[in-house]
A and B are shown apart, each in its own frame.
Chain A
Amino acid sequence: MAEITIQNLVKTYPGQTERATDDVSLHVDDGEFMVLLGPSGCGKTTLLRMVAGLELPDAGSVHIGGRDVTYLPPNKRNLSMVFQSYAVFPHRRVRHNIGFGLAMAKVPKAEIEKKVAWAADLLQLGPYLDRYPAQLSGGQRQRVAVARAIVMDADVLLMDEPLSNLDALLRLGFRAELKRIVEQIGTTTLYVTHDQVEALSLGDRIAVMRTGQVAQLGRPIEVYDHPSDTFVGGFIGSPPMNFLDAMAHGGVDGGVDGGTITVGDAKLPAPGGLPDGPVRLGIRAEAISVVDAHTEGAVPAMVDVVEPLGAATLLTVRVGEQEVKVQVPPDVNVRNGQTVHLSLTPRAMRLYDAETGLGLDLR
């Protein structure tokens, strides 16, 4: 177990002009579960592979447990990894797949037996130890891959989208199981995913990446509630955060609570100290509620689509020309084409610069 320190890591793949990772620095504490989250091509996998030693950086450094491993080969880094494609060895039985790393490390046979039995028990692979991977289902193969990784007593556990090849139901079950196992063994973990639900549910902290850089780093709830810019807000959450064009009137003299925001025709109270001018108003679908027309500050909107989701109903409404997603309780009765009035929870409103999309820090 060890901490990971990534400093100013730069990598450009041969034949490419854009940097896959652009001067990334990241610190993962000992025993922490860090999730790298981002859309495809954001450099998260590249970053993981450089920590693994499967790619070598052009500049910068990687330290694991205080040891400089930047240019060490993978087998000298004392880490283990779970691959997206499982990467179990088809020519070896499950037992030997799980014990592969230990056998390579010349661990005594009896010790290997013991650890394999422990991991197999933890992942419910006991009955399958003498099978070949081809005789297992996809979910079982991924269990083998996880078992192979956790028997290693490695400093760092790396996971590259380990759940993305599983079907939806299996993914949900295995996600919880993975969290339990990783908490139990307490290894420092770096986990790559493009699935924001996975990131929110698993991570101690999330590093949201975009175009080779870390856009925001923080605990899941921070990242969810206070996206640092419109990209992060639009990426995390299902549905993603709504963004509305609005006008701010801050009260230039620095009034504490005197600001207002105009969305369409509605005036909403806002924190003071805002510069006058256009802003982007970010708000989550569940922070908007449908109210009756007389409520103060209610924004009129036209219902476009009604999607009952069981636990809630998702409305797509139009405020002027802008589309907004609203999550309401399933008993709210609305129809297509109906005009409703929306109330925006002031505490849940986030304001972003209209041009750069960066958060206006007014917490």
Chain B
Amino acid sequence: MTSAETSAETSARPAAVPRPQPAVDTAPLRALRRRRALLQVACWVVTAFMVVPVYLIALAAFSSRSALNEFPLRFLPTSFSTETMSTFLSSTGVLAGLINSIMVGLLTLVVSFLIGVPAGYAIARFAFRGHDQYQLFLLFTRALPIVVLSVPLAQLFLSTGVYDTPLAVTLLHSALALPTTILLTSAVFLAVPVDAEEAARIFGCTPVGAFTRVVLPLALPGIAAASIFTFVMSWNEVLGATILTLNQRTLPAQVLSSLSDSPLAFRFAGGFFLIIPAIVFIAVMRRYLLNMWGTTIR
């Protein structure tokens, strides 16, 4: 990897400084080029910072066990093997945990958006008493540590028979996701021009019709972005999921509970597997983030 980094740096450096022409001060131009080169380097460094760990985990997850114990470790996939991954996937609880995780993630999306999108719309469009206080109050939910939330919830769920079900985790995750959902979607709705909505009303739409036919389609890219946040938040949340379940664990909770007594290879496989869905989900939703009709909202 170090070799890759140095080559990136050299290629980013200006190839050759042009010979200064008489009477033209090229110092500002050189400074500009230097700044651009530095920016390039910075981009590479940040990218490396994000990609290298993922690469290392993937490398370890797909290496044979023996290769993992070699010293020094190799940075190129020399001994490709799916042995570790398949062991991980077939181990008890992983598949069930995966199903639970996906279910909880999607249910959380549904629940938090059913409540959060109308709330976000209300904040964006209507002036009502306590508007600002409500917005501030929303953030307080996130001020409570998850442990503080989870323990009373566990007791409540135990007494109502919801404990140890995906529904329990869904409810917790929805509560956690709602503030961001509401604030993000309200920002999205603010960006949808009021005029377009009013035009829809003038040309025969009911308020609900104007919302579904004009506002929602225009807000879709932003809502897709908000859904990424929500899904990934639910996917990654471990603490509450661990407290609220025993057998019906989500994948991260499952992996976490079995991590301490598993071999190194297993941990890498688990780590890699946990990254995939979030990346897939982002890749799918990404196209909604780009503007869809060749325009930014206006």
Chain A residues within 8 Å of B, Cβ to Cβ: 14, 52-54, 73-75, 79-81, 83-91, 100-101, 104-105, 132-135, 148, 152, 158
Contact = CB atoms under 8 A, between A and B. Distances in A.
Contact of B201 (A74, A89, A132, A133): A74
Task: Assign chain B's interface to a size class.
Answer: 20 to 34
Contacts of A75: 201-206
28 contacts: A14-B127, A52-B202, A53-B201, A75-B202, A75-B205, A80-B202, A80-B203, A81-B199, A83-B199, A87-B198, A89-B199, A89-B214, A90-B196, A90-B218, A90-B293, A90-B295, A91-B218, A100-B200, A100-B203, A101-B204, A104-B203, A104-B204, A132-B295, A133-B295, A134-B294, A135-B294, A148-B203, A152-B203
B51 to A, nearest CB: 34
A132 B294 contact: yes
Nearest to B127: A14
A179 B233 CA distance: 57
Given A89-B214, A105-B204, 5 more contacts: A80-B202, A101-B202, A104-B204, A104-B205, A134-B294
Interface of B: 127, 193, 195-196, 198-207, 209, 214, 217-218, 292-295, 297-298
Given A83-B195, A90-B218, A73 B201 contact: yes
Nearest to A86: B195
A147 to B, nearest CB: 12
A73 B202 CA distance: 9
Contact of B195 (A53, A87, A135, A148): A87
Contacts, number: 78
Contacts of B298: 90
Contacts of A83: 195, 198-199
A335 to B, nearest CB: 46
B204 A132 contact: no
B293 A134 contact: yes
Contacts of A100: 200, 203
Contact of B198 (A54, A79, A88, A105): A54
Given A14-B127, A134-B294, A87 B193 contact: yes
B128 to A, nearest CB: 10
Contacts of B200: 89, 100
A91 B212 CA distance: 12
B76 to A, nearest CB: 46
Per CB-CB distance, the 10 closest pairs between chain A and chain B, nearest first, are A104-B204, A134-B295, A101-B203, A87-B195, A87-B199, A74-B201, A134-B294, A91-B217, A81-B202, A75-B204
A89 B297 CA distance: 10
A351 B29 CA distance: 67
A54 B199 CA distance: 10
A52 B201 CA distance: 10
Contacts of B201: 53-54, 73-75
B59 to A, nearest CB: 44
A133 B193 CA distance: 15
A151 to B, nearest CB: 10
